[in-house]
Every structure is written in C-alpha cells, then in structure tokens.
Amino acid sequence: QASSSVKFTDKVCNITQYGAEGDRLQIAINTDAIQKAVDDCAAGGGTVLVPKGNVLTNPLFLRSNIQLKQYEI
C-alpha cells in the first residue's frame, strides 16, 4: 500500500479531455491520448483520471510525480 505521506498537487488530467474514448461499442486504441495526459500531468505533478469503460492502450511510459486513478462516471 502506498505511503500516506505522499502528496500530489491538485492538477487533474482526465484522459477524455485529451481525446480518449472508452464508452463506445467500437473500441478504440487510446495510447496517444493517455500518453498526452500522463506527460501533461507529470509537468508539476498531479492525477491522471481514467473513466470506467473499455479503455484500451498499447504500452505507456509512466512518469514521476503522477498518480493514476480509475473512477466511475
């Protein structure tokens, strides 16, 4: 379990704001949109939000100073 002493900024990068889609019947690969959200959020730190749904991706490069969270809409 992660240490409770870790603090993240209030910056939130929702992958849907970067073009990711996971709510369609036809599933799209969202690698570019998710990577943009990770990279943007890593600049200064923050949280990358992933909505409930079929969010497919190829390998990603995670960065320091971010947390990755899934949430239900």
Q: What are phi and psi of 15, to 5 degrees?
A: -60, -25
Count of residues in the chain: 73
* Helical segments of 1-46, H only: 31-42
CA dihedral angle for residue 55, residue 59, residue 61, residue 67, rounded to 10 degrees:
40
Give 55's pLDDT tier (boundaries 50, 70, 90).
confident
> Are 15 and 48 spatial neighbours (Cβ–Cβ below 8 Å)?
yes
Query: What pLDDT is attached to residue 3?
Result: 56
Between these two residues, 43 and 22, which has the higher pLDDT value? Answer: 43
Provide the β-strand partners of residue 46.
Answer: 66
